[in-house]
Amino acid sequence: MSLHGGHSGEFCDHAEGTLESILQAAVERGFSVFGVTEHAPRYEERFLYPEEVRLGWDVHRLKQNFDAYAVELFRLAEVFSDRLHVLRGFECEVVATADYVEQMLGLRENHRFDYCVGSVHHVFEYQIDGALDQLAAAIAQAGSLEKLAVAYYETVAAMVDALKPEVVGHLDLICRHAQTTRFEDWASVREAAGYALDRIAANGGILDLNTAGYRKGLGRPYPAPWLIEAARSRGIGFCFGDDSHRASDVGAGFDEGRRYLLAHGVREITTLRRGAHGLQRVVVPLPPDATP
């Protein structure tokens, strides 16, 4: 089961392959539920990624890609319905700061998505997990890495309250380019992260155990052990997310992620399913000796 992934080269500049090939990989690897959550478009030219600029893409192209994605996702969900429960979703963006809430809620309503993954990739409108010059500019505006981390978790909390996503993605993405930093040693960061977790709990969110951390060189999934413990103490559930950007990513790191959760006291895993009365949350025991 994965609730975060399915990014494909058809609709995302930094992914590969087709969405159909990703869903086929999920079938072949024994998935029962696979949530597809392509990135939402960004609505201003200044937020285009360097890869998108090199491809000649513009804001209009991003919107076209996303609309085409929604159509293809709903089509494939039907095609695969006898083999795989495909959840139809998207991953939000929090830029531009003044407009993102209306934009993201509009995408959800207009395309009738089942759910949303709420992620923060930008702080002060700078991308914090991409080009290092963007991260440096964000640190400069914040005044220090510690203050940027505080602002990151404040942004997560605000996003959760505004969008009420069913799933919150890669909670400590702020560590992507600062992997040797012990963020938990800063009381201000612990406090800000704790408040973000309070808001996730209050809004009924599920935390993404995001195994892309293994691919990114963290040596662990997102989030870190101290955040796992803090989430557990608040009764927040966890789901698996492979954050797949190609067929080979589907389910990658899940066995290691299962052992990681068990080692930190998590004994259940949460997923979602469409039902006769809307989206349903399903909680199942985390298998101790087999890949979920």
> Which tens digit of pLDDT belongs to each residue from 93-127?
999 999 999 999 999 999 999 999 999 999 999 99
pLDDT of residue 290: 56
pLDDT tens, residue by residue, 26-50 = 999 999 999 999 999 999 999 999 9
Residues with Cβ within 8 Å of 188's Cβ and at least 6 positions away in sequence, in order, are 146, 147, 150
Domain at 19-285: CATH architecture: Alpha-Beta Barrel (3.20)
Instruction: Provide the token pair at 271.
Output: 């997923």
Q: Which of 107, 43, 111, 103 is nearest to 72 (CA)?
A: 111
Tens of pLDDT along the chain (292 residues) come to: 999 999 999 999 999 999 999 999 999 999 999 999 999 999 999 999 999 999 999 999 999 999 999 999 999 999 999 999 999 999 999 999 999 999 999 999 999 999 999 999 999 999 999 999 999 999 999 999 999 999 999 999 999 999 999 999 999 999 999 999 999 999 999 999 999 999 999 999 999 999 999 999 999 999 999 999 999 999 999 999 999 999 999 999 999 999 999 999 999 999 999 988 889 999 999 988 754 4
Which residue reads 């979920």 in tokens?
292
Q: Does the CA dihedral 29-68-239-226 come out positive or negative?
A: positive
Domain positions in the chain are 19-285
Q: Does the CA dihedral 67-20-108-250 come out positive or negative?
A: negative
